[in-house]
Chains A and B, each alone.
Chain A
Amino acid sequence: SAVISQKPSRDICQRGTSLTIQCQVDSQVTMMFWYRQQPGQSLTLIATANQGSEATYESGFVIDKFPISRPNLTFSTLTVSNMSPEDSSIYLCSVEQYIGEQFFGPGTRLTVL
C-alpha cells in the first residue's frame, strides 16, 4: 500500500488565520481525498482532488473555506481559511490505490483558539 505523510502533524492556531496542510504520497495516484474527523464524529469527506482538474467539494464544504491544490500525482494541499474554534479537528488525506480501497495518512490535529 502507498505510504502517505502529512505536514504538520499538529498545530495550534489563532482564530482568523489560515493553515495549509500538506499531503505527500510515495507513488503516483489519480485520486486524493481530504477528510475531517471531529471529536465524537465520523470521518467526513471534504473534497476529492484529481490532478489536473478542480477539486470536487461535498455538501457543506466550499472552496473559499477549504481551497485545495493538486499540482502533481504525488502531492496535495488543503488550506483551512479564516479559522474559528469550530474548525478544530483532525484533517486526513487519503488516496485510492485499488478500486475502492483508500489508504489514509496519519492526520493533522488542528486546534483553533
Chain B
Amino acid sequence: EDQVTQSPEALRLQEGESSSLNCSYTVSGLRGLFWYRQDPGKGPEFLFTLYSAGEEKEKERLKATLTKKESFLHITAPKPEDSATYLCAVQALNSGGSNYKLTFGKGTLLTVNP
C-alpha cells in the first residue's frame, strides 16, 4: 500500500526565516509526486509536479526537490501570506490497476509570523 508521511506536522517561522518541509514516501511505480497548498476552507491549490529523482521545480519563494525516497519543499525568506497547509501526494496505479490515484500525506501546517 502506498504511504506518504509528512514532517513536521506543524512549523512556525518568523518572516524571513527559511526552512524545509519533508515528504517521505513508499510507492510501487511512482508516476509523479505533487505538492499542493491548502488554505482554510478551500480546496488544495496545485503547486508542483516532480517526476524523477534529481528533479527540481521553483515558484517564487518555494522550491521542490525529489529523491527516490523523499521530497523537500524549501521555503526561502517566507512571508506571512505563505501561511497554509502544504500537502504532498504521490501518484501510482490503484490496487485494481485500472486508474492512477493520488495518495496524500496529512500535511504540514505552516505559520509565518510577521
Contact = CB atoms under 8 A, between A and B. Distances in A.
Interface residues of A, number: 25
Contacts of A103: 46
B: interface residue count bin: 20 to 34
B80 interface: no
Interface string A77-102: 00000000000000010100000111
Given A48-B101, A56-B94, A56-B99, A106 B42 contact: yes
A92 B44 CA distance: 9
B94 A58 contact: yes
Given A100-B91, A106-B43, A42 B4 contact: yes
Nearest to A44: B104
Interface string B76-113: 00000000000101010011101111111111000000
Given A43-B87, A106-B43, A100 B100 contact: yes
A41 to B, nearest CB: 7
Interface of chain A: mostly helix, strand, loop or mixed: strand
A9 to B, nearest CB: 9
B22 interface: no
A42 B104 contact: yes
Contact of A104 (B32, B41, B44, B98): B44
A43 B100 CA distance: 15
Contacts of A94: 43
B104 A101 contact: no
Q: What are the 10 closest A-B residue pairs judged by CB atoms, nearest first?
A: A104-B43, A42-B104, A43-B104, A100-B32, A42-B106, A104-B44, A48-B99, A106-B43, A107-B43, A45-B101
25 contacts: A1-B46, A4-B43, A33-B102, A40-B106, A42-B4, A42-B104, A42-B105, A43-B44, A43-B89, A43-B104, A45-B101, A45-B103, A48-B94, A48-B99, A56-B96, A56-B98, A59-B95, A100-B31, A100-B91, A101-B34, A101-B49, A104-B43, A104-B44, A107-B42, A107-B43
Interface of B: 4, 31-32, 34, 36, 41-46, 49, 87, 89, 91, 94-96, 98-107
